[in-house]
Amino acid sequence: MADLWNIGPIPFVGKSDPRQGLGFRYYQPDRVVAGKSMAEWLRFAVAYWHTFDQRLVDPFGDGTAQRPYDRFTDPVELALAKVDYTFELYTKLGVQFFCFHDRDIAPEGDTLRETNAILDKVVDRIAELQQATGVQLLWNTCNLFNNPRFVAGAATSPYADVFAYSGAQLKHSLEIAQRLGAQNYVFWGGREGYENVWNTDLKREQDHQARFFQMAVDYAHEIGLDAQFLIEPKPKEPTSHQYDFDAATTIAFLKTYGLDGDFKLNLEGNHANLAGHSYQHEIRVARAAGLLGSLDANQGDKLLGWDLDEFPSDLYETTSVMWEVLDEGSIGPHGGLNFDAKPRRTSFTAEDLFRSHIVGMDSYAAGLLVAAKLHEDRYFENLVAERYGSFDSGIGAAVEDGSASLADLETYALDLTQRQLVDATRSDHLESVKATINNYLVDALAEA
């Protein structure tokens, strides 16, 4: 293996030393947990934009990132050289997948024709290295938000030329998905929302967005692309209101336009928090609709209310996510855990890219181990079955099977006393439930 990074491969070191370094304590790809290997459950992916392009800027400061390919000054030469670094990082970490936006991997030309020509050269190199390493494309997507032409959106731009350009860009991006064997294709609605509702034709913009999605479905059929289409909800940033606000809003949109047969959801932890939800809530809502597609694994910061894209390290959250995944059987049909995350601005070395992925991978592996133990003991399954047990027979069963009317409920309830109704309820003992999760966390990881 080449040694462009001068680091790795990253070994499994187990629990020999509590100080986290360049080794995995929990993640063992071949270790079987709940009937599948860790690698099969977790399907980690590296996000090209954060890991290889992000300079670690913030609104008050320039980038601090130090990368081994910084010596390349020509943008096309840099783009081509960088691909080698990316595949070496995937293989040294033992990550099986990657994700990218079209504009992450290559610089733009003046026209789309020129841009596509540059892009295709880089795609050629990616295809060669996929072939050589076996690393697969979890998903790709279009960047329809960075360039000034997208100032008022892409598919929801009020300017028809911008809509047309966006569709043309999407077409080529779908061809790349086909060429590289993408398992999913993601739409994150960058600037698809509004700054101010007074100057916005909300209905017309959403109709346009739906047309855009339908065109993607039609073209995928035409070229035989069988990637799962995904929409990634986010409530705000960069616009003050994004149309794909959260899982529930996006599901309503998909059903309104009859697109729910062709799209599922890609859910992100930090986006869930921005919408005022837990990550687990968003996943549960998608599961309830049969629309869980994939996961962007990251976390926010309780003290800062913005999309910080931190690498996941909160074991309580990774446990809840992996519990949902275990209960579902997989992360959607072809989903994975994409680290849509960047190291902090103060973690600027190339080694920090490895360190931060190791932390994310270990945190999810640990979460999987804890969730598997909870699942094996059926702790929540039993608790929930008992909580809703009154719907298994009698009047509850008549409600669920549709045989009870309001008149039947009146006959049943008219003479129930306050005491009888209060006695029908049970304490949830929620504090003990939370402590039980803590106990599972500590015990399962002590045994791991």
Stretch near Co ion under the rule CB under 5 A, chosen from 4-12, 195-203, 253-261, 296-304? 296-304
On whether the CB atoms of residues 357 and 90 are closer than 8 A, the answer is no
State which of residues 232, 244, 324, 352 lies at the interface with ligand XUL (CB under 6 A): 232
Residue with the shortest CB distance to ligand XUL: 188
- Ramachandran quadrant class, 320 (left: phi over 0; alpha: psi -120 to 50; beta: rest): alpha
Position 340 contacts Co ion (CB under 5 A): yes
Q: Is 136 helix (H, G, I), strand (E, B) or coil?
A: strand
On whether the CB atoms of residues 129 and 368 are closer than 8 A, the answer is no
* Cα(253)–Cα(260) distance, integer angstroms: 9
For residue 317, the minimal CB distance to Co ion (Å) is 16
On whether the CB atoms of residues 369 and 26 are closer than 8 A, the answer is yes
Phi, psi of 104, deg, nearest 5: -70, -35
x/- contact string, 174-213, with ligand XUL (CB under 6 A)? ------------x-x-------------------------
Position 307 contacts ligand XUL (CB under 6 A): yes
Distance from the Cα of residue 217 to its chain's centroid:
21
420-435 as b/e, with b when 16 or more CB fall inside 10 Å?
eeeeeeeeeeeeeeee
State which of residues 234, 342, 355, 373 lies at the interface with ligand XUL (CB under 6 A): 234
Residue 88 binds which one of ligand XUL, Co ion, none, with CB within 5 to 8 A depending on kind? Answer: none
Position 340 contacts ligand XUL (CB under 6 A): yes
Residue 234 binds which one of ligand XUL, Co ion, none, with CB within 5 to 8 A depending on kind? Answer: ligand XUL
Angle at 59 between CA 265 and CA 230, to 5 degrees: 10
For residue 342, the minimal CB distance to Co ion (Å) is 11
State which of residues 53, 205, 268, 352 lies at the interface with Co ion (CB under 5 A): 268
Instruction: Locate 136 and state its tokens.
Output: 């697969």
On whether the CB atoms of residues 156 and 203 are closer than 8 A, the answer is no
On whether the CB atoms of residues 109 and 162 are closer than 8 A, the answer is no
Residue 307 binds which one of Co ion, ligand XUL, none, with CB within 5 to 8 A depending on kind? Answer: ligand XUL
Residue 90 binds which one of ligand XUL, Co ion, none, with CB within 5 to 8 A depending on kind? Answer: none
For residue 194, the minimal CB distance to Co ion (Å) is 21
Position 296 contacts ligand XUL (CB under 6 A): yes
Q: Is 20 exposed, middle or buried (0-12, 13-18, 19+ CB in 10 A)?
A: middle
The site that binds ligand XUL (CB under 6 A) totals a number of residues, namely 10
For residue 295, the minimal CB distance to Co ion (Å) is 9
DSSP code of residue 6: S
Instruction: Choose between 116 and 294: whose C-beta lies nearer to ligand XUL.
Output: 294
Instruction: Choose between 24 and 44: whose C-beta lies nearer to ligand XUL.
Output: 44
* Cα(153)–Cα(161) distance, integer angstroms: 12
For residue 97, the minimal CB distance to ligand XUL (Å) is 14
* Overall residue count recorded for the chain in this entry: 448
Residue 192 binds which one of ligand XUL, Co ion, none, with CB within 5 to 8 A depending on kind? Answer: none
Nearest in space to 158 (alpha carbons), one of 150, 147, 146, 170: 150
- Of the residues 50, 53, 101, 307, only one is catalytic, namely 101
For residue 296, the minimal CB distance to ligand XUL (Å) is 5
On whether the CB atoms of residues 144 and 190 are closer than 8 A, the answer is yes
Stretch near Co ion under the rule CB under 5 A, chosen from 56-64, 261-269, 355-363, 379-387? 261-269
Position 268 contacts ligand XUL (CB under 6 A): yes
Position 246 contacts ligand XUL (CB under 6 A): no
Position 296 contacts Co ion (CB under 5 A): yes
State which of residues 91, 141, 157, 320 lies at the interface with ligand XUL (CB under 6 A): 141
For residue 198, the minimal CB distance to ligand XUL (Å) is 26
Instruction: Locate 347 and state its tokens.
Output: 């973690």
User: Is 281 annotated in the active site?
Assistant: no
Position 103 contacts ligand XUL (CB under 6 A): no
Helix ranges restricted to H, 24-151: 38-42, 48, 75-93, 102-105, 112-133
Bridge partners of residue 99, in order along the sequence: 47, 139
- Of the residues 102, 104, 244, 309, only one is catalytic, namely 104
Instruction: Choose between 244 and 340: whose C-beta lies nearer to Co ion.
Output: 340
End-to-end CA distance of the chain: 31
The 3-state secondary structure of 379-396 reads HHHHHHHHHCHHHCCHHH
For residue 138, the minimal CB distance to Co ion (Å) is 12
User: Is 50 annotated in the active site?
Assistant: no
Q: Is 147 exposed, middle or buried (0-12, 13-18, 19+ CB in 10 A)?
A: middle
Instruction: Choose between 103 and 355: whose C-beta lies nearer to ligand XUL.
Output: 103
Interface with Co ion (CB under 5 A): 268, 296, 340
Q: Which residues are catalytic?
A: 101, 104
Residues binding ligand XUL (CB under 6 A): 101, 141, 186, 188, 232, 234, 268, 296, 307, 340
